[in-house]
């Protein structure tokens, strides 16, 4: 079947099998930041935005995304660049494997709630698993970004 997806702002038309996953579709079209980490829809590494809503691309059919817009980290470099340095400064990126999904969901969090509490951050990012860290470094990094943004606004 032929589908057309608006991928990172540009229309991509391709022939897919009825059971092709969105994860495999975006990877086949140059978005290698999107990875499958767990096979059980539980790790958050394959997070993409489907019509601006963060979803697990491992569990979405490419066919279901036909006619919709899909955004990956490749399309959000500027928005990510605002805060990823703060997370790196806390040494929170160790092996880095979980990073793209983590960054995607942090973007979703900050769009939805620009000034979250620590508990709101923990709760929003609870579906992004990191097997190196204890999540504290990421939390400190996001907190430090939010503080810096507030200071900048003053």
Contact residues for another protein, defined by CB under 8 A: 1, 18-19, 21, 39-42, 44, 47, 53-56, 58-61, 63-64, 105, 108-109, 123-128
State which residue, 48 or 92, has the beta carbon closest to another protein.
48
**Smallest separation (angstroms) from another protein to the CB of 151:** 28
CB of 131 to another protein, least distance (A): 13
User: Rounded to whole angstroms, how far apart are CA atoms 138 and 89?
Assistant: 10
106 touches 83 (CB < 8 A): yes
Query: At closest approach, how far in Å is the CB of 94 from another protein?
Result: 20
If the CB atoms of residues 101 and 137 are measured against another protein, the closer one turns out to be: 101
Q: Residue 49 has which token pair?
A: 């935005």
Min separation Cβ 54 and another protein, Å? 5
- 124 to 50, 66, 135: CA distances (angstroms): 17, 27, 13
CB closer to another protein out of 24 and 74: 24
Q: What is the DSSP letter of 57?
A: G
Sign of CA dihedral 70, 76, 79, 80: positive
């Amino acid at each position: 079947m032929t589908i057309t997806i608006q991928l990172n702002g540009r229309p991509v038309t391709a022939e897919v099998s009825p059971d092709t996953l969105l994860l495999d579709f975006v990877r086949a079209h140059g978005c290698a930041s999107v990875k499958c980490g767990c096979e059980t829809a539980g790790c958050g590494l394959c997070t993409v935005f489907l019509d601006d809503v963060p979803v697990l691309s491992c569990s979405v059919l490419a066919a279901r995304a036909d006619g919709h817009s899909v955004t990956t980290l490749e399309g959000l470099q500027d928005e990510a660049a605002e805060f990823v340095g703060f997370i790196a400064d806390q040494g929170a990126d160790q092996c880095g494997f979980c990073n793209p999904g983590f960054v995607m969901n942090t973007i979703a969090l900050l769009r939805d709630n620009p000034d979250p509490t620590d508990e709101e951050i923990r709760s929003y990012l609870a579906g992004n698993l990191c097997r190196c860290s204890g999540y504290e470094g990421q939390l400190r990094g996001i907190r430090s970004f939010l503080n810096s943004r507030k200071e900048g606004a003053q």
